[in-house]
Chain A
Amino acid sequence: MTEWEMVVGLEVHCELATATKLFCACPNAFGDEPNTNVCPVCLGLPGSLPVLNRHAVELAMRVGLALHCSVEPSIFHRKNYFYPDMPKDYQISQYDEPLNVGGRLDLPDGTRVGVTRAHLEEDTGKTTHVGGGGGRIHGADHSLVDYNRAGVPLVEIVSEPDIRSAEQAKAYVNELRAILVAIGASDARMEEGSLRIDANVSMRRAGAEVYGTRAEIKNLNSVRSLGRALEYEVRRQVGRLEAGEAVVQETRHWNEDEGRTSSMRSKEEAYDYRYFPEPDLVALAPSAEWLAGVRAVLPVLPSERRVDLARVAGVAETDAAVAAVVQQGLDGLVTAAVGAGADGRLALNRAANELAHATPPDAGAFAKVLRMEADGRLTATQAKGVLAELVSAGGDPEAIAAAKGFEALEGDVVAGAVDAAIAAHPGEWERYAGGEAKLAGFFVGKVMAATAGKADGKAVTALLRERLAGR
């Protein structure tokens, strides 16, 4: 029997970082007193008319361009449904003619996920359920609604079903967040609901052409939840399929505390929303000039920064340290350090592992520590110690090393300590010479003790081999 293959497509809803809502001048702000950012337009009062926010359109265009989409003429539709989170009883969205179509997202591991579309729509209000257990709808007595979020601009980014693992799904969301923040489209804070994910998941036999029946998973409020929910859903669907049962096409709710998904309702057919063109808004048709203006303010994207950094450091673009350094925004520092004579590989590794979550040090000082390490004047452990001091207190690396007593030992001091260790432990030396390689560690330990940890472990090992060869 062939293995099961997971097929995942993600819908990511991202709140745009505008000052005001999509169709009215109410502030777009998180955490304000309920129902203080509302007006006749976002409350759906009779006679009010929507007017599109130019900046929201430009941010959505940035998203499209950054995802290599084609930015197209588009129109808005009404999506009709009855639910108290939208006082109009419809949501203004884009349906069959969205703003951005046909893009892609390249992940740090070298894989590529297609982007079907990225369209503009308005967010809904926030409902709170009262009287049930834990704020759930089930068992609730009544609900309370805050319309501050109703009408906040969203971009919904829909991926192709190109994702094949929970790890890849998490990498996709992390990369997308990095792009959204880099281009200034959103703060992409999942804990504030600025970024929300729905996952379409199905299973099929590896090598099969046809997709299986999918379930849509909602309420994924963190990248971690996404990974856990996908892993759970794979077990659930494979369990059903192997028992000869069908997977039902439905929407499922992820419960973070219970670590499982549960059925919400059968997915309504698209026509049940009775989409029709929004008569109160005219078409959006970005001119070539407008598009060029938006393109001109786009910063260098994370994927391009990885390519540049890998070239500077002389390593593969898919190197894990390259992704980590770009993610931490340390690519400028590493590039400058390499320019100042530091080794690329060493600069990447030390930046990725020793400088994460720290205020980056001066590039010249960083390069100096790396050169001291490469020259053998500092051991790896000593270099990390100097970097830690450099980050926390600053200063000159030479002075820090001297203050810590890290002055390099003369080669003959180390050699003397090696010879003394051999002389003091003839039994161990014979066994080492007889092929017990792990005893190298014993002698390194003795030399370290004799030199108060100042000897370079690698140099000691090399000396031991030399002595062995010279027997």
Chain B
Amino acid sequence: MSQLEIKNLHVAIGEKEIVKGLTLTIQSGEVHAIMGPNGTGKSTLSKAIAGHPDYTITSGEVLLDGKSILELEADERARAGLFLAFQYPSEIPGVSIANFLRAAQQARMAEGEELDASAYYKRLYSKMDLLKIDRKFTSRSVNEGFSGGEKKRCEILQMAMLEPKFSLMDETDSGLDIDALRIVADGVNTMRGPNLGVLLITHYQRLLDYIVPDHVHVMWDGRIVKSGDKSLALELEAKGYDWVKKELAAATA
């Protein structure tokens, strides 16, 4: 059992504060969804936790199993068990998915230890079968010339292979068509289980038709302003974000 704790987190890009004191705890086995309008800091939150150099954590804590990860480099956080499914994943020309994942696995091994190539491919193929991905897919260069759906498939396959403790899935505003939505949903549902915690970032409720969350949080202006179970997402869908805004205004008035 693992635990990811975000405590009163403040994040800035340059001088501008984007996340303004966010607190959230995720346990293994749980799926949390963060919803909110554009520009409210959802993507910033996930990138800051993953250790992107452009995002400065000005105060607060992020603890993985009780230990702070804020002093760790992005790659160290990844090896500690954090995975970020990118909204806009980078292209890596000339590097096949299979070789990329192999390098990522090799990076997790002790110095001097060599990855067993045949065991690796066996595992890769079993994950691909599980996710119903064509064998030819992994000989293509990472994300190069990929459609939106292919990019999602590539992220999900990486997640399946790297078996993180926590996956931060940044799906905001990516204009997912229904196929891409299904790929993400099927992937997460397949991997869902006691060893994986998920933070699902989404703008629209419809993704939650496919991935049913245990907890739903509404983010507004850099903070979580409302939390509830899956019914909160439906309420939000019905009433719109203005409803939250009004409630908030009433509370602070």
Same complex for A and B? Answer no
List residues of chain A with CB under 8 Å of any chain B CB. none
